[in-house]
Amino acid sequence: MSHVLVVDLARNMIMTALLIASPMLVVALAVGLVISIIQAVTQIQEQTLSFVPKLVAVAVTFIIALPWIIQIMVKYTSELFRSLPSMIS
């Protein structure tokens, strides 16, 4: 197994992980920003106030994006298994 193959596998794995996690991270960032602006305007500095809306928004985003996430994961796994014979030799 060459160094180029290992680097390519690691790059593909990291890109797939980022692609899978990005919808939830973007929603959490947006909801956190909106809640922070609301807290700054109203001067309510309660730390738990931002946790519940972020949790709900990320959960809803996960449920909505789940078919797409599964499709990406199945594609990555099938490509990995398909390239397994060339990795061994």
pLDDT digits (tens, 9 = 90+) for 35-65: 999 988 988 888 778 889 999 999 999 999 9
Residue 36 domain boundaries? 3-88
| Distance separating alpha carbons of residues 81 and 89, to the nearest angstrom | 14
Question: Residue 88: its pLDDT value, please?
Answer: 79
pLDDT, averaged across the chain: 91
70-87 pLDDT, tens per residue?
A: 999 999 999 999 988 887
Q: 76-85 — which CB contacts under 8 Å span 24+ positions?
A: 76/12, 76/13, 76/16, 79/12, 80/9
Question: Residue 25: its pLDDT value, please?
Answer: 96
For helices 3-42 and 51-82, the axis angle rounded to 10 degrees is 170
Could you give the number of structural domains in the chain? 1
Please state the φ and ψ torsions of residue 87, each to the nearest 5 degrees: -75, -35
pLDDT surpasses 80 at 89: no
